[in-house]
Structure 1
Amino acid sequence: MRILITGGAGFLGARLAREILKKGQLNGQTVSEVVIADLFPAPADLLADPRVKGHAGPMLEQGDLFKSGFDGVFHLASAVSGECELDFDLGLRSNVDSSRLLLDSIRASGKASRLVFASSVAVFGPDIGNPMPDLVTDTTLPTPQTSYGTHKLMIEHMVADYTRKGYIDGRSARLMTVAVRPGKPNGAASSFFSGIIREPLSGVDAVCPVDASVSHPLSSPGNTIHGLITVFEASREAVGGRMALNLPGLNVTVGQMLDALEKVAGPAVRARVKFERDERVAGIVANWSRGSTSERANALGLKAESNFEAIIEQYIEDCKTRPGYPAEALNGLK
């Protein structure tokens, strides 16, 4: 079985690749090759595996690779929310144009690959003609209020239509915001959801740009990867249609996140978080969902974490055992 992961050199993509290689199979079929396509080279531990082939460069220059025929595709490559707001053309190229190239290349290969597209909860947003409910569901009408969310929704519909035509066997899974991510902040407006946990645990002060009352659905990296693989392995009938489904998320406020941080790591660690409102970030976040449900994913056996303490504890364990987590990540606990 030959698998392609776009965005496979990034945090989630690399974790997904490691999990697939560890499993050694998908849908009962042996994974013989994992092709990682990204703007940057894949991590060294992945490239050291003889089953891995790395391809670095812009997706728009990798059409020949995408035409080579794959049994399965995980499409994670994307410019993130903050980048798309700051550079409109970059977002279109990196998200919409690259996805169209990928889908057309798979179509040209003549092999109707099973494809999972990593969409986002950012497809939801308030509109004067479509007020957003407190909890967005699989069937809530998406009216995104950012370019990033708009791109994700556009690609969801492309995946659904290419599936309708029989060019791919596609399914789109809407990821909740993933926390806690290791490393440095990225260009995503949601980056602070990880930063207010990650930085204090490393002994560094963190700035929270929104109010403590802000609520949002979050998921751990491990639960997110489990969701992507489960959606890939599920039958078309079990997935329940061509349109996108929500992956499970824990609906939690910033204040509850910090309460959990104090419970796990102590008051001194929590005290490293300072509130300094950033109107640009707060304005973006104000148009995001406050919580979600995931009935179709639940029917596949997927569920959210029971509390945010479990997500923090997963991060701490990951820092001790997983590649890609800096050695100083837990200096704040000493």
Structure 2
Amino acid sequence: MNILIIGGGGMVGQKLAKKLAARGELDGKPIAKLTLADINDPARIEAPFSTRYTTCDISDRASVDATIPADVDVIYLLAAVVSAHAEEDFDFGYKINMYGTINVLERARALGTKPKLVFTSSIAVFGGEVPQPYDDNSALNPQISYGAQKLIGELLVEDYSRKGFIDGRGFRLPTISVRPGAPNRAASGFMSSIFREPLQGLPANCPVDKDFPHFYLSPRQCVENLVTAAEIDGAAFGKRRCMTMPGRVWTIGQMIDAMTAVAGPEPAKLITWNPQPEIQTILDGWRLDLRPQKAAALGLKADESFEDNIRYFLEDDLPGQ
């Protein structure tokens, strides 16, 4: 089994790579080679099989062609320009999120081997005047450029799969929290920072009130789901290849209560509550009542509680806590 993770330097990509290294196999087949590719040189991991690390600019077809080997079996396409960044820089967002996806799909098509391709989309494809709850058959109506770009990616994955060029499957990720590491430029970034920083004794600001609800998943369960996603038989998807990954809806207040239940009262005291209108404008276009029945039926799972999300962060990303 030869696996490629495009976006392998990012948080999810690194955790996925480590999970695959620990398993040593995917879909019942031993992993012979794993390649991590990103715009910057990805961090190395320990693995019992051959690993390769490379830089890749997915907006450059030649770079993509050099990155995706002819014998690849599974491609994880995780690389993206995230929400606030894509909204600020319209051209760059489309360059990476749309044209970059096209380049990856065209390289996969040119191979003629129909590799499996796992594409990470976003719940930002929902919004507008479409009535809630959102289920697997709801219309997609993104209200920000990032959502539009991810929706285009979904349609491409569907069509390339229908034509038999790839064995594609796409999953709209909930907001992933608690994310370790440095903040990124996602509008939802504060949904990790208000836990990550206080759990380390640092202040963090929340730009929305405690009643703000959203749809969440832990990094640990996200990675478990991405492994499962590559193991599902293509025929099981039917005529719809892209869907929402399971998650849970909690309010900010409920999440802070969960952190307090696990870590005590001190971290919550480090949260400030200063509005950020530029973030609120993006969040106002998001929707939250999602019913991901199809992905759940295919074996993907949500976290049981946000207390689990906090525990996973402490166990996986803050050793000794």
What's the TM-score bracket when you normalise by the shorter of the two chains? over 0.9
Q: Which residue of 1 aligns with 2:54?
A: 55
* Alpha-carbon distance between aligned partners in 2 of 1:95 and 1:107, rounded to the nearest angstrom: 18
In 2, are the aligned partners of 1:72 and 1:114 still within 8 Å (CA)? yes
* Alpha-carbon distance between aligned partners in 2 of 1:277 and 1:306, rounded to the nearest angstrom: 30
Aligned pairs (5 A) from 1:1-334: 1-46=1-46, 51-59=50-58, 60=60, 61-66=63-68, 68-126=70-128, 130-133=129-132, 135-321=133-319
* Alpha-carbon distance between aligned partners in 2 of 1:242 and 1:2, rounded to the nearest angstrom: 26
Q: Give RMSD over aligned pairs.
A: 1.6
- The answer to which of 229-238 and 149-158 deviates more is 229-238
* Alpha-carbon distance between aligned partners in 1 of 2:213 and 2:192, rounded to the nearest angstrom: 14
Which amino acid in the other structure matches residue 234 of structure 2? R
Q: What is the CA distance between 1:183 and its match in structure 2? A: 1.3
In 2, are the aligned partners of 1:124 and 1:132 still within 8 Å (CA)? no
* Alpha-carbon distance between aligned partners in 2 of 1:175 and 1:237, rounded to the nearest angstrom: 22
Q: What is the CA distance between 1:65 and its match in structure 2? A: 2.6
* Alpha-carbon distance between aligned partners in 2 of 1:57 and 1:67, rounded to the nearest angstrom: 13
Q: What is the CA distance between 1:45 and its match in structure 2? A: 2.7
In 1, are the aligned partners of 2:44 and 2:53 still within 8 Å (CA)? no
Q: What is the CA distance between 1:49 and its match in structure 2? A: 6.2
Deviations 1:120-149 (A, max 9, x none): 1111111xxx3341x322222110011111
* Alpha-carbon distance between aligned partners in 2 of 1:165 and 1:304, rounded to the nearest angstrom: 32
Which amino acid in the other structure matches residue 81 of structure 1? S
Deviations 1:45-96 (A, max 9, x none): 35x7651111113122232332633111111010111110111111111111
Which amino acid in the other structure matches residue 146 of structure 1? I
Q: What is the CA distance between 1:221 and its match in structure 2? A: 0.6
* Alpha-carbon distance between aligned partners in 2 of 1:50 and 1:225, rounded to the nearest angstrom: 19
In 1, are the aligned partners of 2:168 and 2:241 still within 8 Å (CA)? no
Deviations 1:170-222 (A, max 9, x none): 01111111000111211000100101110110101110011211111100011
Change (3 A) 1:49 1:97: farther
In 1, are the aligned partners of 2:124 and 2:286 still within 8 Å (CA)? yes
Q: Which residue of 2 aligns with 1:324?
A: none
Which amino acid in the other structure matches residue 57 of structure 2? P
* Alpha-carbon distance between aligned partners in 1 of 2:164 and 2:118, rounded to the nearest angstrom: 15
Give ranges in structure 2 of 5+ residues lacking alignment: none
* Alpha-carbon distance between aligned partners in 2 of 1:57 and 1:20, rounded to the nearest angstrom: 21
Which amino acid in the other structure matches residue 50 of structure 2? R
Q: What is the CA distance between 1:291 and its match in structure 2? A: 3.0
* Alpha-carbon distance between aligned partners in 2 of 1:2 and 1:319, rounded to the nearest angstrom: 28
Q: What is the CA distance between 1:320 and its match in structure 2? A: 4.2
* Alpha-carbon distance between aligned partners in 2 of 1:226 and 1:312, rounded to the nearest angstrom: 17
Q: What is the CA distance between 1:310 and its match in structure 2? A: 1.0
In 2, are the aligned partners of 1:231 and 1:239 still within 8 Å (CA)? no
- Structure 1 residue runs of 4 or more that deviate by more than 4 Å after TM superposition: none
Change (3 A) 1:269 1:148: same
In 1, are the aligned partners of 2:17 and 2:45 still within 8 Å (CA)? no
* Alpha-carbon distance between aligned partners in 2 of 1:254 and 1:58, rounded to the nearest angstrom: 36
In 2, are the aligned partners of 1:132 and 1:289 still within 8 Å (CA)? no
Q: What is the percent sequence identity of the aligned residues?
A: 37
Q: TM-score, normalised by structure 2?
A: 0.95
The size of the alignment, in residue pairs, is 318
* Alpha-carbon distance between aligned partners in 2 of 1:200 and 1:271, rounded to the nearest angstrom: 8
Which amino acid in the other structure matches residue 210 of structure 2? A
Give ranges in structure 1 of 5+ residues lacking alignment: 322-326
Deviations 1:216-273 (A, max 9, x none): 1100011111111112101123334333111110110111111111111122211111
Aligned residue for 1:44, secondary structure, equals coil
